């Protein structure tokens, strides 16, 4: 809608060059719109980076412009006031165990559902798909109550288990698609060679579904690193908060310092951006799973 | 790879009876499944039931919940803020056609291999990896009264277009919806591109040979072949329209100005964890679950009916 509103000017050189090749008004129009949309997607990065690197006075002088001088003060204060290092560590201590746990449980479950003859496996998979469609907000209060009742409120283990459960349905569903691509003959051969199901899963199936596993791990890491609401409710205590909760609360202060907020945002974007750069393909594969099947 | 998206079909077939002979005795098989099933039962299935039970109680989060019958639901009927939240969700639903059309059009544009399409495909995906918290904080700064957007508008002489984007009751909800559409269109583009890659090119070529115009091909060939993918995306965003707004609203507007951007999920959170009325919030959750069930069920039924 208003996505293109804050776009910097586009690059006329490229547009012109394309125009020479095949003078099509339609293609030029598409290009111009795409360039504006692309600018709106890149601008957040540029803006946050430039705001984080300049002083507050410099920012106020021209909020959208380029910095006239650089400072590292915002980053120092992101560590000392926002405790961004501590928050990032908190997030990692929840997200990494959860991602590993999800991968293990989803692998075993998908393997059993697809390749071990289990009664009701169709019904179970249908149930898993129904859970995928369930909006997590509906579960917020009963899960809060459950975590409270078993004494895991403000305890990382509570959030790890909740994250694992919430992301299992999607993860199992995703892996079943990859499980099905494992040739049955290979499993039979392993069985004839005397390998039990555990051995077969470990040394035959896992190497074959490694791309699926990569997709699963990157996607879950991204989801959980970026998650807010359950983290907000389950880890309420000051020093255990995850990075997104910390940033959300810090930026809500009326006296906030834009530079420090921007520095925090920039640092919190590092893991997602690394995933974006190095695991694009895995993300795309995971997010389109189901669309063309 | 046939065309039945997860839209409502009972899931892919798994009933292949094979490879079982090697798989050991009955119990070991279940051991693979058990940990996942236990976790799902305890943290998803049981809470669904508990959500319904709590909806009939009064609970402040400290003392034990006590049953109060239907009075939460009676109060909901009189709750102005809740009704307003529902209306805002309705506005979001009304915006769904845009939410479908934007990624669809962008994917078609990329599919025509417009100059720099690889770059565009990459960059359009960027907002998707960023947390709604980051986007909320970013737009909170950029759209502020004295922020860069208004500054830019004023400096190019369009000061008349400068608004209090986040402080104008009529404007803020459309702004929030626009940001969500912008933040998620990259996923839609990917999904539609996957659909376009599976397009039956022979039919397209046949249509070209028959002298169909580009628009006719788009309208009569591509659109119909992409329909399952469109349905898939629609189901995703219908669910997202009830659940994807909380983190952005929490960081960007806190439901404000006033209650102008309260959505049902934000209202649920506020009742529970700001006002400490967790039983009442559970009732909101139950109503929400019911609405999503009816909407998605109706959608799936509609799609099935249309298909047959």
The neighbour count for residue B20, using CB atoms within 10 Å, is 16
How many A/B residue pairs have CB atoms within 8 Å? 345
Residues of B with Cβ-Cβ distance to A285 under 8 angstroms: none
* Complex confidence, ipTM: 0.86
- Confirm if B111 and B189 have CB atoms less than 8 A apart: no
Nearest to B49 by CA among B292, B285, B264, B300: B285
Cβ contact B12–A176 (<8 Å): yes
Confidence of residue B17 (pLDDT cuts 50, 70, 90): very low
Stronger pLDDT, B15 or B249, i.e. the higher one: B249
B112 or A35, greater pLDDT:
A35
Which residues from chain B sit within 8 angstroms of residue A180, using beta carbons?
A: 12
Cα B27 to Cα B91: distance, rounded to the nearest angstrom: 51
Which residue in the set B37, B242, B286 is minimally distant from A135, CB to CB? B242
The one-digit pLDDT tens for each residue of chain A (293 residues) are 344 444 444 444 444 444 344 557 888 889 999 999 999 999 999 999 999 999 888 888 878 778 888 889 999 999 999 999 999 999 999 999 999 999 999 999 999 999 887 778 889 999 998 898 888 999 999 999 999 999 999 999 999 999 999 999 999 999 998 999 888 888 888 888 888 888 888 888 999 999 899 999 999 999 999 999 999 999 987 788 999 999 999 999 887 888 999 999 999 999 999 999 999 888 888 888 766 55
Helices B172-197 and B96-111 cross at an angle (nearest 10°) of: 40
How far is residue B175 from each of residues A132, B163, B189, B208, B237, measured CA to CA in Å?
A: 28, 11, 21, 41, 18
Chain A contacts in chain B segment 72-91 (CB below 8 A): none
SS3 B189: helix
- d(C-alpha B134, C-alpha A267), whole Å: 11
3-state secondary structure of B67: strand
pLDDT at B16: 41
Predicted local confidence at residue A11, as pLDDT = 43
- Choose among A211, A96, A235: nearest CA to A154: A235
Hey, is B2 helix, strand or coil? coil
Q: CATH 1.10.3720.10 residue ranges in chain A?
A: 82-288
Verify whether the Cβ–Cβ distance B39 to A161 is below 8 Å.
Answer: yes
Q: What is the per-residue DSSP string for A108-131? A: HHHHHHHHS--TTHHHHHHHHHHH
A28 touches chain B (CB under 8 A): no
Q: Which of B206, B123, B217, B117 is closest to A27 using CA atoms?
A: B117
pLDDT, one tens digit per residue, over B38-64 is 999 999 999 999 999 999 999 998 888
What is the rounded distance in angstroms from the CA atom of residue B40 to the CA atom of residue A192? Answer: 34
Helix (H, G, I), strand (E, B) or coil at B119: helix
- Subunit contact A200:B24, Cβ cutoff 8 A: no
Q: Which residue of A has its CA nearest to B53?
A: A142
Residue B25: what pLDDT? Answer: 59
- For position A291, what pLDDT does the model report? 64
Which is more confidently placed, B23 or B111? B111
Contact A34, B106 (CB under 8 A): yes
Tens digit of each residue's pLDDT (9 = 90 or more) over B202-221: 888 888 888 888 888 888 88
| Domain residue ranges of chain B, discontinuous segments joined by + | 42-78+277-308, 84-274
Give chain B's radius of gyration (CA, Å).
24
Which of B39, B239, B272 is facing A141, going by the closest CB pair?
A: B272
Residue B287 has pLDDT above 90, yes or no: yes
What is the per-residue pLDDT for A7?
44
Mean predicted confidence (pLDDT) in B223-247: 87
Contacts of A215 (CB under 8 A, 6+ apart): A174, A282, A283, A285, A286, A289
Q: Which DSSP category does A242 fall into? A: -
Query: Does the domain at residues A82-288 carry the CATH identifier 1.10.3720.10?
Result: yes
pLDDT band at B34; cut points 50, 70, 90: very high
DSSP three-state, residue A13:
helix
Rounded to the nearest angstrom, the minimum Cα separation between A55 and chain B is: 15
Paired tokens of A87? 């928050």
> DSSP letter string over B249-306?
HHHHTTT-STTTT--HHHHHHIIIIIS--HHHHHHHHHHHHHHHHHHHHHHHHHHHHH
Residue numbers of B between 190 and 249 with CB closer than 8 Å to A: 190-191, 194-195, 197-198, 229, 232-233, 235, 239, 242-243, 246-247
Q: Which of A143, A167, A137, A162 is nearest to B263 (CA)?
A: A137
A22: left (phi over 0), alpha (psi -120 to 50) or beta: beta
Q: Which is higher by pLDDT, A91 or B161?
A: A91
Quick one: A273 exposed, middle or buried, by C-beta within 10 A (0-12, 13-18, 19+)?
middle
Query: How far, rounded to the nearest angstrom, does the alpha carbon of residue B18 sit from its chain's CA centroid?
Result: 38
Q: Does B170 touch chain A (CB under 8 A)?
A: no
Angstroms from A169 CA to nearest CA on chain B:
8
Q: Kindly state whether A92 is in contact with chain B, defined as any CB-CB distance less than 8 angstroms.
A: no
CB B56 within 8 A of CB B287: no
* A247: nearest CA partner in chain B: B133
Burial bucket for residue A143 (CB in 10 Å: 0-12, 13-18, 19+): buried
With contact defined as beta carbons under 8 Å apart, do B189 and B107 qualify? Answer: yes
pLDDT at position B273: 94
Per-residue model confidence (pLDDT) at position B19: 44
Residue B58 φ then ψ, to 5°? -110, 125
A121-158 tens-digit pLDDT: 889 999 998 898 888 999 999 999 999 999 999 999 99
Q: How many other β-carbons are positioned within 10 Å of the β-carbon of residue B98?
A: 13
**Residue B47: both structure tokens together:** 């809470």
- Determine the average pLDDT of the residues in B95-111: 93
Question: How far, in Å, CA of A225 to CA of B190, rounded?
Answer: 22
End-to-end Cα spacing for chain A: 30
For the domain spanning B84-274, the CATH number is: 1.10.3720.10
pLDDT at A145: 96
Q: Which of B6, B20, B22, B199 would you mutate first to test chain A, the one with the most A CBs within 10 A?
A: B22
**For A16, phi and psi rounded to 5 degrees?**
-60, -45
Under an 8 A CB cutoff, do A244 and B131 touch?
Answer: yes
Tokens for B17? Answer: 């009876």
């Amino acid at each position: 809608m208003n996505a293109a509103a804050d776009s910097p000017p586009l690059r006329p050189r490229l547009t012109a060059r394309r125009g020479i090749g095949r003078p099509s008004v339609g293609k030029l129009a598409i290009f111009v719109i795409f360039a504006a949309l692309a600018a709106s997607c890149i601008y957040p990065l540029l803006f946050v980076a430039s705001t984080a690197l300049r002083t507050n006075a410099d920012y106020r002088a021209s909020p959208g412009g380029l910095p006239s001088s650089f400072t590292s003060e915002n980053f120092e204060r992101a560590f000392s006031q926002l405790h961004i290092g501590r928050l990032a560590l908190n997030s990692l201590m929840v997200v990494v165990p959860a991602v590993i746990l999800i991968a293990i449980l989803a692998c075993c479950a998908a393997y059993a559902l697809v390749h071990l003859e289990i009664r009701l496996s169709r019904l179970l998979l249908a149930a898993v798909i129904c859970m995928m469609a369930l909006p997590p907000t509906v579960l917020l209060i009963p899960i809060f109550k459950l975590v409270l009742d078993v004494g895991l409120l403000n305890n990382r283990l509570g959030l790890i288990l909740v994250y694992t459960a919430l992301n299992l349905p999607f993860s199992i569903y995703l892996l079943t698609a990859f499980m099905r691509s494992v040739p049955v003959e290979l499993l039979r051969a392993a069985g004839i060679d005397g390998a039990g199901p555990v051995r077969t899963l470990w040394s035959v199936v896992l190497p074959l579904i490694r791309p699926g596993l990569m997709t699963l791990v990157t996607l879950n890491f991204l989801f959980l690193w970026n998650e807010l609401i359950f983290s907000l409710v389950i880890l309420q205590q000051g020093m255990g908060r995850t990075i997104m909760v910390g940033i959300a609360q810090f930026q809500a202060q009326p006296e906030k310092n834009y530079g420090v907020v921007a520095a925090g945002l920039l640092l919190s974007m590092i893991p997602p951006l690394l995933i974006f750069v190095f695991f694009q393909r895995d993300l795309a594969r995971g997010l389109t799973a189901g669309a063309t099947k | 790879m046939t065309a039945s998206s997860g839209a409502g079909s009972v899931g892919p077939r798994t009933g292949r009876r094979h490879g079982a002979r090697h798989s050991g005795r009955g119990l070991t098989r279940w051991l693979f499944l058990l940990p996942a099933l236990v976790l799902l039962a305890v943290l998803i299935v049981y809470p669904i039931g508990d959500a319904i039970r709590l909806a009939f109680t009064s609970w402040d989060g400290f003392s034990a919940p006590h049953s109060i019958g239907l009075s939460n639901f009676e109060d909901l009927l009189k709750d102005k803020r809740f009704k307003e939240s529902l209306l805002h969700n309705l506005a979001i639903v009304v915006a769904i056609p845009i939410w479908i059309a934007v990624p669809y059009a962008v994917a078609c544009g990329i599919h025509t291999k417009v100059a720099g399409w690889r770059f565009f495909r990459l960059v359009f995906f960027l907002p998707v990896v960023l947390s709604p918290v980051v986007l909320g904080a970013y737009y909170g700064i950029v759209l502020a009264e004295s922020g860069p957007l208004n500054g830019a508008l004023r400096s190019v002489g369009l000061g008349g277009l400068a608004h209090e984007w986040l402080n104008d009751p009529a404007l803020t909800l459309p702004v929030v919806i626009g940001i969500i559409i912008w933040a998620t269109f990259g996923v839609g583009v990917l999904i539609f591109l996957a659909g376009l890659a599976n397009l039956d090119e022979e039919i397209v070529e046949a249509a070209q040979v028959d002298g169909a115009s580009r628009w006719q091909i788009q309208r009569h060939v591509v659109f119909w072949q992409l329909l399952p993918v469109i349905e898939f995306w629609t189901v995703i965003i219908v669910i997202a329209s009830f659940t994807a707004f909380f983190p952005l609203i929490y960081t960007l507007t806190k439901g404000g100005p006033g209650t102008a951007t309260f959505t049902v999920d934000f209202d649920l959170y506020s009742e529970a964890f700001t006002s400490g009325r967790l039983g009442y919030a559970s009732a909101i959750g139950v109503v929400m679950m019911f609405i999503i069930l009816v909407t998605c069920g109706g959608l799936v039924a509609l799609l099935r009916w249309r298909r047959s």
